[in-house]
Amino acid sequence: MSGKPQYDEAAVIDAAVKVFWRHGYAATSINELTEETGLSRSSLYQRFRDKDGLFQAAMATYTDRVLRRMNAAEGRTGRERLVALLRGFVPADSASQRPPGCLLARSCAERIDLSPAGREATLSGVDRQREILAKLVRDAVANGELPTHTDAAALAWHFLGVLHAVLNLPQAGATANEVNRMIDVAMSAWPNLDSPARRTRSRRGSD
């Protein structure tokens, strides 16, 4: 069985994303990559140069997909868009297909052991995540939805932390319901100018 089936590069990278996402860079072996991508070792090195090259391709794809999902959040107000954004990353309780956690956050943690290029891709990825949140906040300030003295940078960092918490805390035992309630709590950092009083309130969910 050899030949020229012209493999589907997007599918290959997709599979690689899943492997790196699940195990991180260091704990991912070429063997597992060839098995999951279906690509032979030969073609893998031919196309991606080495493990790090495939990692960078996977990281680029993952980052684009995450950023697209963040940007796709809809809502009338900035607050509604932000809530939609966060809720969009709450993992479905029922045996999700997606690996747990976040490849960007994970690569951040192991960035010491990454190549300079991998490190750079990671850093720029989280930067772009944060920039999306910062822009959302800045727009809300411009709209009068948030007070002018709002510390937009601090809010962006905060919600970046919340986003990563949404992705990571399920691995620490949090249920989807608890994550959703946590989002409600975390949203109290976004002052609701219309009805200022309520804060630690809402409840939702299935367990």
Partner DNA sequence: TGTATAATGGAATGATCGTTCCAAGTTGTC
Partner DNA sequence: GACAACTTGGAACGATCATTCCATTATACA
Closest by alpha carbon to 16, among 70, 47, 61? 61
| Residue ranges in 58-97 that form contacts with DNA under rule CB under 7 A | none
**Spatial separation of the C-alpha atoms in residues 82 and 190, rounded to whole Å:** 10
Residue 149: Cβ within 10 Å count: 6
Residue 197 binds which of DNA, a copy of itself, none (CB < 5-8 A, kind-dependent): a copy of itself
Shortest separation between residue 5's beta carbon and a copy of itself, angstroms = 31
Site string for DNA, 38-57 (x = CB under 7 A): xxxxxx-xxx--xxx-----
Q: How far is CA 138 from the centre of its chain?
A: 21
- Token representation of residue 50: 């080495």
Q: Residue 151, interface with a copy of itself (CB under 8 A)?
A: yes
Q: For residues 30 and 154, which CB has a smaller minimum distance to DNA in the complex?
A: 30
DSSP classification of residue 27: T
Residue 76 binds which of DNA, a copy of itself, none (CB < 5-8 A, kind-dependent): none
Full DSSP string of 75-122:
-SSHHHHHHHHHHTTSPPSS--SSPSS-HHHHHHHTGGGS-HHHHHHH
Residue 119 binds which of DNA, a copy of itself, none (CB < 5-8 A, kind-dependent): none
| Residue ranges in 50-89 that form contacts with a copy of itself under rule CB under 8 A | none
Site string for a copy of itself, 111-130 (x = CB under 8 A): xxx---------x--xx--x
| Residue ranges in 93-112 that form contacts with a copy of itself under rule CB under 8 A | 100-101, 105-106, 108-112
Which parts of 144-190 fold into alpha helices (H)? 152-168, 176-186
Shortest separation between residue 4's beta carbon and a copy of itself, angstroms = 36
DSSP classification of residue 147: -
Positions touching DNA (CB under 7 A) are 1-7, 28-32, 38-43, 45-47, 50-52
